[in-house]
Amino acid sequence: MACDLGETDGCALAGQLFAASQAADPAHFGTANGSNPFVAQALGAFRVTCYHRRSPNKDACNSLAEAYLHHLGTSGALDSALMAARRGCDLGSATACAHAGMLVRDRRDLGPERQQAARELLQRAADSGSVYGRGRLAFVLDRARLEEEEASEHGAAAVSGDSILGLWDASCRVGEWLSCNDLGEAKESTRYATRAQPASARHLYEMACAGSATGRPSRASSSARGGRRDTLPRWSGNGNGCRNLGRMYLDAPAGSGIAQPDTIMAVQYFRIGCELFEPSSCGWQARYGLLLHRADATRREAVMPFVAFMLAATACVQRSADG
């Protein structure tokens, strides 16, 4: 109704509510996006509100960009995602500026000057208070530092490692879970310290995957069964952390607190990462879940060949080499 009347704030709110209904209603969760009524109505509200002539809504543009990025009810057109993110950024959304910066960075057809343009967008997002923008600015600075180290004979870099770690740490502390994952990857390596810190890296990955400062998922009530209501873990973090946890359980690196390789635990984390829209996790789940199926098809974590093919195809379509 708000969309029909041209009330853009109300229309944007309607889109958010429809999107929330998609996540909350188990009858529709995981169904094909094209047939999901909540996704279709949310996207419609975001499009109308973002591109409204008289009073466009910046948050709707950001939500529309995220929908394109995560293939929610769309073909995942990156050009459309960048258009929506740029519009949201111009309208004053700091998070949309961050999305635009990362999209520009990945557009090789824009030439080498895109790196500076991306950094400016991310700096704008960070300066405007976007926690996500701070984390992605740290990521871009980290990659720039790595390129400088590789190009320099003495391994010197103009970008301060402490400033990069500081940006990630500050973002992680307030719940920007991708930054927790990135900080974990930094601690797992020796690029910023003389010794790797696998135990700290593992905890950061747990935080990132669970979406919780404790590293444990929250509990969500499911439907009542037999007169009682079950509670199920709700993994609401970032799939990159789940993927890295799975990788750790495969390798059991010394000092991580994982006594021995555990493929079953690894596949469980890859599954969670895949469900959190991290495409390479889908590829890893397919590979190691299929190995479990060949060893013992009765295991819950085992993945049948056809399902493994679909998971790998999902990863491939989303441009992950692990598919």
- Greater confidence (54 vs 2) lies with 54
Lowest mean pLDDT among 133-137, 306-310, 313-317: 313-317
pLDDT in tens, 91-148: 999 999 999 999 999 888 888 889 999 999 999 999 999 999 999 999 999 998 888 8
pLDDT at res. 173: 96
Q: Residue 135: what pLDDT?
A: 96
Report the distance separating Cα 314 and Cα 302, nearest Å: 18
Q: Is the pLDDT of residue 19 over 80?
A: no
What gap in Å lies between CA 58 and CA 62, rounded to an integer? 6
Q: What is the mean pLDDT of residues 183-202?
A: 94
**Mean of pLDDT values over 273-300:** 88
Closest by CA to 176, choosing from 130, 216, 231, 222, is 130
Q: Is the pLDDT of residue 38 over 50?
A: yes
Residue 323 pLDDT level (bands cut at 50, 70, 90) = low
Interval 226-242 mean pLDDT:
72
Q: What is the pLDDT of residue 36?
A: 53
Cα 155 from chain centre: 31
Asked if residue 159 has pLDDT above 80, the reply is no
Exposure of 28 in the CB half-sphere (CA atoms within 13 A):
17
Banded model confidence at residue 2, pLDDT cuts 50, 70, 90: very low
Q: What pLDDT is attached to residue 206?
A: 97
Instruction: List the beta strands (DSSP E) in the chain.
Output: 218-225, 228-234
For the chain, the average pLDDT equals 81
Burial of 299 (C-beta count, 10 Å sphere; 0-12/13-18/19+): middle
**pLDDT confidence of residue 242:** 97
Strand partners, 218: 234
Examine the pLDDT at 32 and tell me if it is beyond 60. no
Residues 6+ apart with CB under 8 A from 205: 180, 181, 184, 241, 242, 244, 245, 248
- Of 121, 55, 126, the residue nearest 91 (C-alpha): 55
| 227, pLDDT greater than 60 | no
Q: What pLDDT sits at residue 122?
A: 97
Percent of the chain with pLDDT over 70: 76
Query: CB-side exposure of 156: number of CA atoms within 13 Å?
Result: 3
Q: Are 94 and 76 in contact (CB under 8 A)?
A: no
pLDDT attached to residue 17:
40
d(CA 172, CA 176): 5
- CA geometry: angle 121, 242, 297, nearest 5 deg: 145
Residue 11 has pLDDT above 70, yes or no: no
The string of pLDDT tens digits covering residues 168-186 is 999 999 999 999 999 999 9
More confidently predicted of 110 and 213: 213
pTM of structure: 0.79
Amino acid at 296: D
> What pLDDT is attached to residue 72?
67
Question: CA separation (Å) from 111 to 9, 106, 131, 215?
Answer: 37, 10, 28, 40
The answer to whether the CB of 76 falls within 8 A of the CB of 90 is: no
Q: Which of 17-31, 45-59, 200-214 has the highest mean pLDDT?
A: 200-214
